[in-house]
Amino acid sequence: EPEVTQTPSHQVTQMGQEVILRCVPISNHLYFYWYRQILGQKVEFLVSFYNNEISEKSEIFDDQFSVERPDGSNFTLKIRSTKLEDSAMYFCASSEVRSTEAFFGQGTRLTVV
């Protein structure tokens, strides 16, 4: 069964450092997303991406965040200058078309120290 893969599974970084979280969506999917979940809290939408551009973003997705699809298979989330409050599980998801099943990866646990 096709799946969304995320790397690394766990990343520890120092406050102020840049991190790049990587995702490989399912190959024929056109819509890509990032979500995050702070420990013990609900899953929060960050950004959606379609046709090589951001289609929607939440208030959380401020200027320190950026997304990119650098090639035909990867989808990345960059956090420019990490803060302690960025510590969370980050989930990538993809879907074939709108309003259908979204497939989530297993997540990257980001710990900012």
Partner 1 sequence: DAKTTQPNSMESNEEEPVHLPCNHSTISGTDYIHWYRQLPSQGPEYVIHGLTSNVNNRMASLAIAEDRKSSTLILHRATLRDAAVYYCILETGANNLFFGTGTRLTVIP
Pick from 15, 43, 54, 113: which binds partner 1 (CB under 8 A)? 43
Of the candidate spans 14-22, 60-68, 71-79, 100-108, the one that interacts with partner 1 by CB under 8 A turns out to be 100-108
**Interface with partner 1 includes 87 (CB under 8 A)?**
no
CB nearer partner 1, residue 25 or residue 107: 107
Q: What is the Cα–Cα distance from 52 to 15, expressed in whole angstroms? A: 30
Q: Which of 19, 21, 25, 33 binds partner 1 (CB under 8 A)?
A: 33
Q: Is residue 49 exposed (0-12), middle (13-18) or buried (19+ Cβ within 10 Å)?
A: buried
Min dist CB 91 to partner 1, Å, is 5
100 contributes a contact to partner 1 by CB under 8 A = yes
Instruction: Determine the Cα–Cα distance for residues 39 and 111; give it in Å rounded to an integer.
Output: 11
Which residue, 46 or 112, has its beta carbon nearer to partner 1?
A: 46
Assess contact for 38 and 87: CB atoms under 8 A.
yes
User: What tokens does 93 get?
Assistant: 């998801």
Report the relative pairing of strands 19-24 and 88-95 from DSSP bridges.
Answer: unpaired
Binding site for partner 1 (CB under 8 A): 31, 33, 35, 42-45, 48, 55-56, 91, 93, 95, 98-107
